[in-house]
């Protein structure tokens, strides 16, 4: 059995009936925004206060930990022979050791890149490729589609609340 075709109906009726109602609704949206911002500000203040309290309470512990770490490091550096030729040592409450760390220090990146290119060492250069949508949309639609992209133009609704006026009310 074939389904009967249903005709599309255009909605003529909306919940808001006048520009005055739209304006009143914008006022309510603005008030909601202000209330949310006030709540967020209060919570951010509380979070900041809690972080500060935590930092104050944890500071003596962090200082003690850093001091103990220095003691362990100093002992390990002066007693490397106790590692028995190994890089680390297993203890009851943890492990200590040394590992080789190699760093590359870059002083003048532009000059280094130029030197790498001159020597054919392009495998040392990282290039991040991205499509510039802002530049691409300046081309005509046929050219944009020829490269596999598409331009979509649409009317997008927007609104803004007059916050100054809202404060006055």
Going from N- to C-terminal start, the domains of the chain cover: 17-100, 103-151
Give the three-class secondary structure for 116.
helix
Which string of b and e fits 69-78 if b means at least 16 CB within 10 Å? eeeeeeebee
130 three-state secondary structure: coil
Predicted pLDDT of residue 7:
55
* Under-70 pLDDT residues of the chain: 1-12
What are the residues whose beta carbons fall under 8 Å from the beta carbon of 96, sequence distance 6 or more? 72, 76, 88, 89
- Span 146-161, pLDDT tens digits: 999 999 989 888 889 9
**Among candidate residues 33, 39, 40, 42, the one with its CA nearest the CA of residue 166:** 33
Beta bridge partner(s), residue 88? 97
Q: How many whole angstroms separate alpha carbon 21 and alpha carbon 83?
A: 80
pLDDT at 124: 94
* pTM of this prediction exceeds 0.85: no
Distance between CA atoms of residues 130 and 133, nearest Å: 9
Under 8 Å CB-to-CB from 159, ≥6 apart: which residues? 26, 29
């Amino acid at each position: 059995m074939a389904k009967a075709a249903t005709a599309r109906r255009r909605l003529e009726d909306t919940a808001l009936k006048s520009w005055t109602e739209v304006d009143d609704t914008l006022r309510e949206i603005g008030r909601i925004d202000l209330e949310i911002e006030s709540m967020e500000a209060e919570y951010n203040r509380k979070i900041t206060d809690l972080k500060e309290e935590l930092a104050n309470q944890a500071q003596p512990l962090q200082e003690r930990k850093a001091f103990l770490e220095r003691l362990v490091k100093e002992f390990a550096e002066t007693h490397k022979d106790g590692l028995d030729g190994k890089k680390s040592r297993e203890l009851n409450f943890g492990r200590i050791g040394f590992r080789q760390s190699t760093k590359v220090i870059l002083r003048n990146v532009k000059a280094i890149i130029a030197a790498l290119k001159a020597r054919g060492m392009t495998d040392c250069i990282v290039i991040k490729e991205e499509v510039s949508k802002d530049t691409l949309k300046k081309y005509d639609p046929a050219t944009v589609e020829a490269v596999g992209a598409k331009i979509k133009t649409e009317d997008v609704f927007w609104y803004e609340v007059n916050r100054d006026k809202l404060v006055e009310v």
